[in-house]
Amino acid sequence: MCLRAVSACASAQWQISYVASVPVITVDGPSGVGKGTISHMLADRLGWHLLDSGALYRVTGQACVIEGVSWDDDPAVADVARHLDVAFSLAANGEMLVAYKGLDVSAAIRTEEGGRGASTVAAIPAVREALFARQRDFLQPPGLVADGRDMGTVVFPDAPLKFFLTASAAERAERRYKQLLEKGESVSLPRLLADIQERDERDSSRSVSPLVPAEDAIVIDSSATPISDVFARVMLEVKKKGFI
Ligand code: DC
């Protein structure tokens, strides 16, 4: 997997035609469905770039906290998104590091509060517009695995292979509960479930780029399915398309 710093440049016309032939595989779905894990595994296996679009929304939420901007102040949040000074890199252990203005925010953006902030700012149309070109910028040879909510519907609608992962909210809350316990964080399972349901509702009902599967997406229900089986199913489709 290759990661690179995000540049703020809007793609020029020649860049668009240059990257037109670069393949993209989109992996969309709600929080906690395992799409991050699947996307990492896929990018590793193919040696392609990885776009974690949720991280861009998470950094925007965190940047607002740092800059003292309220998540409800739409014009100010959009301004933060437009000028987002963010860089991605890989730690020695393979984990993705995220920096805002050179400050490591990797842990802060992954908290439950970070998720709430991301989901709130992601509902602002001007924020989505500001982050659109940055996401398209990740489209570089030899290929891109794009993880998010609207990768297959809005950001890369022409992607030749699209996945949409689903799992029940109860199952996702349970998985998140175990992850947080392993990290030594004390959490309440009912609270996690309520948070997930609230976030699903916000992500699915917003006016712009709501969380819906693309018409041509392959929908995989990952409830009660080991991640290795989900990955095997994904790889089957990747091979069918001749990417490997
Ligand atoms: O994938 P994630 O949990 O890191 O995403 C955090 C939030 O960001 C999620 O609640 C909705 C938002 N998001 C989005 O609106 N569009 C994307 N492409 C990715 C994430």
The whole-number pLDDT of residue 4 equals: 42
Asked whether residue 10 carries a pLDDT value surpassing 80, the answer given is no
Which pLDDT tens digit goes with each residue over 169-185?
Answer: 999 999 989 988 988 88
Pairing of strands 161-166, 144-148: unpaired
Q: Is the pTM of this model over 0.95?
A: no
Over range 96-106, report the average pLDDT: 96
Residues with CB under 6 A from ligand 1: 31, 53-54, 57-58, 115, 118-119, 122, 148-150, 199, 203
Q: What b/e sequence results for 38-50 when a residue is b if at least 16 CB atoms lie within 10 Å of its CB, and e otherwise?
A: bbbbbbebbebbb
Distance, CA of 11 to CA of 175 (rounded, Å): 38
- Nearest-5° Cα angle at 20, 14 to 22: 125
Superfamily of domain 24-238: P-loop containing nucleotide triphosphate hydrolases (3.40.50.300)
Which has more confidence, 124 or 16? 124
Residue for token digits 């996690």?
Answer: 192
Distance, CA of 55 to CA of 18 (rounded, Å): 26
Test site for ligand 1: of 39, 57, 211, most ligand atoms within 8 A of the Cβ = 57
Give the residue, by CA position, lying nearest to ligand 1 atom 9: 119
Span of 53-62, 97-106, 149-158, 200-209 with lowest mean pLDDT: 200-209
Over range 8-20, report the average pLDDT: 44
Query: H or E stretch including 221?
Result: strand 218-221
